[in-house]
Amino acid sequence: MVRDKISRYHQYLVPSPTHSPPTPETATSKFSDIPQEFRISAEDLKAMHLHAFNAGHFATKVVQRLFPELTGPNNLRQKYSYFGGGRCNKLELDTRRKSFVVRYVLHHYPQVQEKHAWQERVVVKINEFLRRK
């Protein structure tokens, strides 16, 4: 079951044949199709990237921004994991917003677009953040 979910998200990790590295001119327009409520400005993304130690740390910052309800006083984050399920039967993060997380992270860290790298460097850190904060 988890493998099916990983495969489902792999579609966001594999670059399209027309994929090219982001340029300053296209960086802001690259996310124009993301709904305004989930769009992070280029300035904020740059600041988050500058303060992040690696792709996983950057991803946790994006998750905090896109899932503000998880970090409130109710500690809802402890009831969620990236794919859901597991020993504690946690809930899965919203797939739509996760797809935006993938896009933001891959924009700054294209080296994690391989499925194995994404799983080891990003998903693990997001789940750790959701458990421990």
Band (pLDDT 50/70/90 cuts) for residue 133 is low
Band (pLDDT 50/70/90 cuts) for residue 118 is very high
**pLDDT tens-digit series, residues 33-86:** 888 999 999 999 999 999 999 999 999 999 999 999 998 888 899 999 999 998
DSSP H/E element including 92: strand 91-92
Q: Where are the domains of the chain?
A: 39-132
Cα gap 102→59, rounded to integer Å: 8
Q: Which one, of 100, 64, 56, lies nearest residue 80 by Cα?
A: 64
Alpha-helix residue ranges (DSSP H) falling in 39-94? 42-51, 55-66
So what's the pLDDT on residue 7?
A: 55
Cα gap 60→65, rounded to integer Å: 9
In this predicted structure, which of 21-30, 49-58, 72-81, 88-97 has the lowest mean pLDDT? 21-30
In this predicted structure, which of 7-16, 38-47, 97-106 has the lowest mean pLDDT? 7-16
Band (pLDDT 50/70/90 cuts) for residue 18 is very low
Give this prediction's pTM: 0.77
Percent of the chain predicted with pLDDT > 90: 63
**pLDDT tens-digit series, residues 60-72:** 999 999 999 998 8
Averaged confidence pLDDT in the chain: 83
So what's the pLDDT on residue 125?
A: 96
